[in-house]
A and B are shown apart, each in its own frame.
Chain A
Amino acid sequence: MDLPPLLTLTGASVHFGGVAALDGVDFRLFPGEVHSLMGENGAGKSTLIKAITGALDLTEGVLRLDGTTVRFASPHDAQRAGVSSVYQEIDLLPNISVAENISLGREPRRFGLIDWPAMRRHAQQVMHGLGLDIDPASLLGSHSLAVQQLVAIARAISTEVKVLVLDEPTSSLDSEECAELFRVIRDLQQRGVAILFVSHFLDQVYEISDRVTVLRDGKLVGEYLTRELLRIDLVHAMLGRSVAALRTRPTLHVAEDEQRPYLSMRGGTVTSRLESADVDLMEGEVLGVAGLLGSGRTELARALTGLDKLDSGIINVRGRRHTLGGPRDAIAVGVVYSSENRRTEGIISELSVQENITLALQADQGFLHRLRPARQRELAVSWVDALDIRPADVDRPAGLLSGGNQQKVLLARLLALSPRALVLDEPTRGIDVGAKVHVQNLVGELADNGLSVMFISAELEEVLRVANRVVIMLGGRIVDTIASEDLDVDSLTALVAQPDDPDE
């Protein structure tokens, strides 16, 4: 790369309240390259993209495009300067034609009126340049999502574009559609466009990108040439080693012959999400689930707790076959699930802590058996006390609590149901270190009391610290299940990053 970089970020920081979403990050994009941005959830990828595309202001740092310092006031500003983006949710209009979508906002006009034939010709030209043959007069909504995405790219490049940001473009595409997309990307590369490719599919990143930038916890970990970066090093950079200033729990004692699976699944398959998963949740055990984003962890949890219907496979509770048709069925057999989306699938921000805690119990008891107000209060207070939820005010709206305390409220809600099996999806994500430890210890205590716990986390040390055994997932399949005492962070990292074909 002897050309100077097209776009550079120097010392970029973005602060939200007291939290640094980006902290002193340097980033550069060269013309004609495909550059991947990698990092787990919360690493700062979307913040970086928003800073580049004008959706966010930098608290500190400088953005330079073609050597000149720029400050984008809005995404529209950035577009005019040549920085376009295509997001996962296609931001086009399905009710108008393909040609109009491509030109909307800058339609060719004649005598002040829109020139439709010229618009169709322009669209034809742009798409021809990308090797696409889509009828420009057809309604966008009549095409598949993959085609709509290609139209979105056509729109993005129909003006002078220097940088194209593709945010998770392949999540809804099959392999043929992916191949078509990659062909278009390579075409654009040839034209000198710099492409920022964000995806959590490692295979695709290795296939298409020239360089990789890894972020973690808002900071820059490093910038690497893809061909010189081993997969395991990439995963290591993404997951890293967090500060080990935490009390470690003593590993649980496991008497294997006394173990009985409370909840198990055999051959669990959900089309294109989970494949032939065999898993056992033993009583008194914490089963960790490790794997990268997109490896199927959440899908496994949802299938196991009846949130998603199995396309094939069976679920056994205490040795007896059960069909879990939904969360209610699961709760009825003592199986509860805590989603990783605390804010959208967990806490109800406007309701008080007390109401949040007693919610599931009340739902389980039904409309006709109201919990007496005194009983509700008693429950809430005792859980707030047991889990050390702060502030200890059960009438406070749950939305005002910190992430860690919200997570504890959710745990209290589940525990109020006196479950036998708990499936926790990323319970410590985004919460401070102290609260993390508290939740981890709690999980251990629950297992000691005979509960079965499945603990899903992207942080490998956490999984090793908390779990008795670890399930390793990759590409929707369970690769292996190993006792945690036989693993350390390095070996677990290697297993989590292992590609299916040894093509490294």
Chain B
Amino acid sequence: MTTVVTADNRRTSSAQQVRTFVSRHASVMPTLAAVAVFVLLLVGAQAYFGNFLTPRNMSALLLDNAYLLILAVGMTFVILTAGIDLSVGSVMALTGILCAKLLADGLPAAVVVPATILVGSLIGALIGLLVQYFDVQPFIASLAGLFLARGLAFVVSLDSIRVEATSVLSLQTTRFRFGTGWYITPTGIMALLVVAIGALVLLYTRFGRTVYAVGGSEQSARLMGLNAARTKILVYVISGTCAGLAGLVLTAYSGAGYPRNGIGTELDVIAAVVIGGTLLSGGTGYVLGSMIGVFVYGTIKTVISFLGAEQSWTRIIVGLLLLLFIVIQRFIVFRSERPR
């Protein structure tokens, strides 16, 4: 059994090429599976309804789920380090209601917007510190964050507060039209920007690579001289910041802040991220995959509403899909990581 392939023997047979491809891209396989499912869904829906794949519907797909997209980017960072953040739904509600309240109190949007996003970052930092320095399990630490944020949201207001500030509302109402019926709003642009920045950071910065390293093996990462501690805290700060931004987006979308927003949203986000090919065990996954995961979730939601069925069916189908994906992931990971 030889351990190395000498240069002269490198066969370019198709079997060898497939093996090379798999050994290079094994971690992308789950995401490719997600893309396949997404395409299948779109094709199936188009075949069934006949008028599903329209520019209007596709544009709405992005804009209706912009907040989810932003949350998914933050969650991807956290899950890549083998952590989890259960607080994002509540933080989104908190920042949303806080934003609405401060705007209603007359503070200028230029102050309110950064301040509320900062609240998200702070809660994220708190969770990160709990996880890193107090050795609290991410599940518990973020659960604490969930309760804290939800409680604070109710402290801010027990009822919804309408937003009148046009600067904030315009984020949703301004529509840039292009092509034949395609449109996008500033919130949509924000969501896409967050996805792009997230993807670039994970691929091209040392911090991003450290995120993958910590997820692969925290001990090894530390031994290799990487700052695992700082990275672990920062991913929760990123998640919290995304939650803050998502709160802003959701408030603009619905025109009001509501303290009961986002109950259970964190679970939708986690489902989308996992479906998109990020492994819960950490170290493998892509932001673009999470984006596909969100689109899959959104498409299912749209199809259900087109069918006129109850919205709860969305959750049921997403749950089944999630189960299927986790099984597929185990299978793919097992095959690609088996040492030759």
Point out the residue from A109, A135, A145 that lies within 8 Å of B24, measured CB to CB.
Answer: A135
Is B320 part of the contact surface with A, judged by Cβ < 8 Å?
Answer: no
Q: Which of B1-9, B58-66, B259-267 interfaces with chain A?
A: B1-9
Is A180 part of the contact surface with B, judged by Cβ < 8 Å?
Answer: yes
The interface residues of chain B lying within 8 Å CB-to-CB of A134 are 4
Could you tell me if B206 and A114 are in contact, using CB atoms closer than 8 angstroms?
yes
Interface size on A, residues (CB 8 A): 37
A220 to chain B, nearest CB (A): 28
Nearest residue, chain A, Cβ from B5:
A133
A240 to chain B, nearest CB (A): 34
Nearest residue, chain B, Cβ from A136:
B24
The interface residues of chain A lying within 8 Å CB-to-CB of B118 are none
Could you tell me if A93 and B223 are in contact, using CB atoms closer than 8 angstroms?
no
A134 to B220, CA, bound (A): 21
Point out the residue from A97, A112, A139 that lies within 8 Å of B336, measured CB to CB.
Answer: A139
Could you tell me if A107 and B212 are in contact, using CB atoms closer than 8 angstroms?
no
Nearest residue, chain A, Cβ from B219:
A91
Q: Per-residue 0/1 for A68-99: is the Cβ within 8 Å of any B Cβ (1 yes, 0 no)? A: 00000001100100000000000111111100
A143 with B24, Cβ < 8 A, contacts A105-B226, A174-B1, A176-B1 known: no
Q: Per-residue 0/1 for A159-188: is the Cβ within 8 Å of any B Cβ (1 yes, 0 no)? A: 000000000000000101100100000000
Within 8 A of A (CB), among B1-55: 1-7, 10, 20, 22-24, 26-27
Within 8 A of B (CB), among A37-79: 75-76, 79
The interface residues of chain B lying within 8 Å CB-to-CB of A414 are none
The interface residues of chain A lying within 8 Å CB-to-CB of B209 are 96, 100, 104, 107, 114
Nearest residue, chain A, Cβ from B6:
A133
Could you tell me if B205 and A114 are in contact, using CB atoms closer than 8 angstroms?
yes
Main secondary structure of the interface of B (DSSP, over half): helix
Nearest residue, chain B, Cβ from A132:
B4
A145 to B27, CA, bound (A): 19
Is A113 part of the contact surface with B, judged by Cβ < 8 Å?
Answer: yes
Could you tell me if B4 and A180 are in contact, using CB atoms closer than 8 angstroms?
yes
Could you tell me if A95 and B283 are in contact, using CB atoms closer than 8 angstroms?
yes
Is A141 part of the contact surface with B, judged by Cβ < 8 Å?
Answer: yes
Q: Per-residue 0/1 for B302-340: is the Cβ within 8 Å of any A Cβ (1 yes, 0 no)? A: 000000000000000000000000000000000011011
Within 8 A of B (CB), among A101-117: 104-105, 107, 109, 112-114
B208 to chain A, nearest CB (A): 8
Could you tell me if A114 and B226 are in contact, using CB atoms closer than 8 angstroms?
no
A147 with B4, Cβ < 8 A, contacts A91-B219, A135-B23, A142-B23 known: yes
Is B217 part of the contact surface with A, judged by Cβ < 8 Å?
Answer: yes
A97 to B283, CA, bound (A): 12
Could you tell me if B339 and A142 are in contact, using CB atoms closer than 8 angstroms?
yes
A144 to B339, CA, bound (A): 5
Is B216 part of the contact surface with A, judged by Cβ < 8 Å?
Answer: yes
Is B110 part of the contact surface with A, judged by Cβ < 8 Å?
Answer: no
A95 with B220, Cβ < 8 A, contacts A105-B226, A114-B205 known: no
The interface residues of chain B lying within 8 Å CB-to-CB of A135 are 20, 23-24
Could you tell me if A150 and B216 are in contact, using CB atoms closer than 8 angstroms?
no
Could you tell me if B339 and A145 are in contact, using CB atoms closer than 8 angstroms?
yes
Is A146 part of the contact surface with B, judged by Cβ < 8 Å?
Answer: yes
Could you tell me if B3 and A146 are in contact, using CB atoms closer than 8 angstroms?
yes
Is A138 part of the contact surface with B, judged by Cβ < 8 Å?
Answer: yes
A97 with B24, Cβ < 8 A, contacts A105-B225, A146-B3 known: yes
The interface residues of chain B lying within 8 Å CB-to-CB of A94 are 216-217, 337
A139 to B283, CA, bound (A): 12
A143 to chain B, nearest CB (A): 6
Could you tell me if A139 and B224 are in contact, using CB atoms closer than 8 angstroms?
no
A138 to B200, CA, bound (A): 21
A205 to B193, CA, bound (A): 58
Nearest residue, chain A, Cβ from B212:
A96
Could you tell me if A105 and B224 are in contact, using CB atoms closer than 8 angstroms?
yes
The interface residues of chain B lying within 8 Å CB-to-CB of A176 are 1-3
A142 to B24, CA, bound (A): 8
Q: List 29 A-B contacts (CB under 8 A).
A: A75-B223, A91-B224, A92-B220, A94-B216, A95-B27, A95-B215, A96-B283, A104-B213, A105-B206, A105-B224, A105-B226, A112-B205, A113-B205, A114-B205, A114-B206, A132-B4, A133-B5, A133-B7, A135-B20, A138-B24, A139-B24, A141-B337, A142-B337, A143-B340, A144-B340, A145-B339, A150-B3, A176-B1, A180-B4
The 7 closest A-B pairs by CB, nearest first: A93-B216, A95-B283, A142-B23, A113-B204, A138-B23, A95-B216, A76-B225
Residues of B within 8 A of A (CB): 1-7, 10, 20, 22-24, 26-27, 200, 203-206, 209, 212-213, 215-217, 219-221, 223-226, 283-284, 336-337, 339-340
Q: A75-B223, A141-B26, A176-B3 are in contact. List 11 more A-B contacts (CB 8 A).
A: A92-B224, A93-B213, A93-B216, A94-B217, A104-B209, A109-B206, A113-B204, A133-B10, A137-B24, A142-B339, A176-B1
